[in-house]
Structures are given as C-alpha cells and as structure tokens.
Amino acid sequence: MSDDLRATPKFRRALLKLSGEAFADPQQGFGIDPRIVASIARQVAEAQNLGTELGVTVGGGNIIRGLSASAQGTDRTTADYMGMLATVINALALQDALEKEGVQTRVLSAIWMQEIAEPYIRRRAIRHLEKGRVVILAGGTGNPYFSTDTTAALRALEMNADAILKGTRVDGVYDSDPLVNPDAKMFHSLDYIEVLNRGLKVMDSTAISLCMDNRLPIIVFNLKPGNVVRVLSGEEVGTLVHSESTA
C-alpha cells in the first residue's frame, strides 16, 4: 500500500458529490462511460482504504436534467421526478464499478424501489458507514424543486459528515468560466456569503445556505485520479468554501 493510503485522513466522514456529467464522456456530455465510472470507483476505493467513511451523492444530468426538461415544456414536477430516476441509474453504475474494486456498497434511494435499492433511512445509512460500506445516495431528496446539490448538503448534515467534497472537471472555483476565459482567477478559499453575493457556481443557493447555517465546509476540486485521497489527506487541493475565508 502506498504512503498516501497509510496517511491519517483529515475527515472521519465525508460526502462526495458527483454530478451526472462526471459519468459521461467529456466530448459527448451525456450517457455513461464505463471507463470514467471505473476511474471514479478506483478513487473511492482508495479513499475507503485511507479510513474515511464515505457517502456519495450522484446527479443525473448526463441522462436528463429536470430544469432543462421543464424548459422544453415538460411539467416541472414530472421533469424533476424523471431526473431523480436518472440518479438511480448512475448510482447502480457506480455500485457495479465499486464492487468490481472489492468495495462493499449500498444504494439508498429517497424514492422507494425495493428491488434495486434500500430506502433512505438516516440511521441505516449511518450504520452502513460505520460498517465500512460506501453509501451511494440516489433519488435526490425524493421531492421536486430540490437539486442534487441540496441533496448533498442535506444528507451530509443528516449523516454528520465533516465536509462535502465536490468533484468537478476544473481545479476549483473561479471568478469566471476557466473553460471560456483563460485569464479566470481561481480562489483557494471563499466565505459562504461571498459565494452567494458573487453568484459563483459552487452549489445552488439553497445548498450553500444549508452549509453556511451549519458551518459545513465544501471543497471543490478536480476529479482527476488521486485527488480524492489528496483532499482527504489534508492537502490543499481545489477551493475551500467555509465560514472564515482567508482569500
């Protein structure tokens, strides 16, 4: 085992937030790329070897996004439920990849579907974490009008996580889109209020407010290989959003 995996983790329990787009080929932007999911699974397996209890919340934007479907004429509530079902598909794909890595997992869904997932029950989720299983949280909050960002904040608080780790395709939070503006400035530390006032695309305002009210830190980082363990080991990776910014 490498030195990284023998390091003492900074967080006893953390929640990893993955967008649906993280499962797709970057060139296509939709669907599920098994190679990418396998790469994510290897990172989660490394994190578990480090000793951190890990929950994972998945989005569904690589299959369908509720807001986009609503904008195209689908009833908003119906569109959001469609998006919730998409997160279950991604959760099952991640579960399969994790089990190929020898990681014990449980998929817990906010929407009852007993043939393929357990219902989300807070105490059950915590017990799975304590037993060393990776808990994959699907189905959003089970309610329309709430994003998977809000789901991540809510579940992290319910399960007493020490931080939310938001894996992205860029290195952190920038003052503008770094994929469009090569001169975009990356922040290494931000206050919750600054995120809200600037309208920075960290998580939606409901999720940020939940984290701010409960002083739950968010680390936004690039989901490239090795970074999950680096973050959990306490290295300064990405952008830290917390209550006392030093930026």
What is the pLDDT, as a whole number, of residue 201?
85
What is the pLDDT, as a whole number, of residue 3?
47
What is the pLDDT, as a whole number, of residue 2?
47
Query: Under a CB-based contact definition with an 8 Å cutoff, are residues 66 and 26 in contact?
Result: no
Look-up of token digits 């959760």: 91
Domain boundaries, the chain: 3-242
What is the pLDDT, as a whole number, of residue 71?
79
- Averaged over successive runs of 10 residues, the pLDDT of the chain (247 residues) comes to 59 95 86 95 93 95 83 90 96 98 97 96 97 97 95 98 94 90 93 93 93 97 94 94 68
Can you read off the two tokens belonging to residue 150? 């809000």
In CATH, what class is 3-242?
A: alpha beta
Query: Under a CB-based contact definition with an 8 Å cutoff, are residues 182 and 233 in contact?
Result: no
In sequence order, the β-bridge partners of residue 134 are 105
Query: Under a CB-based contact definition with an 8 Å cutoff, are residues 175 and 187 in contact?
Result: yes
Can you read off the two tokens belonging to residue 29? 């932007």
Query: Under a CB-based contact definition with an 8 Å cutoff, are residues 213 and 154 in contact?
Result: no
What is the pLDDT, as a whole number, of residue 7?
62
CA 36/CA 65 separation, integer angstroms: 20
Can you read off the two tokens belonging to residue 213? 């009210």
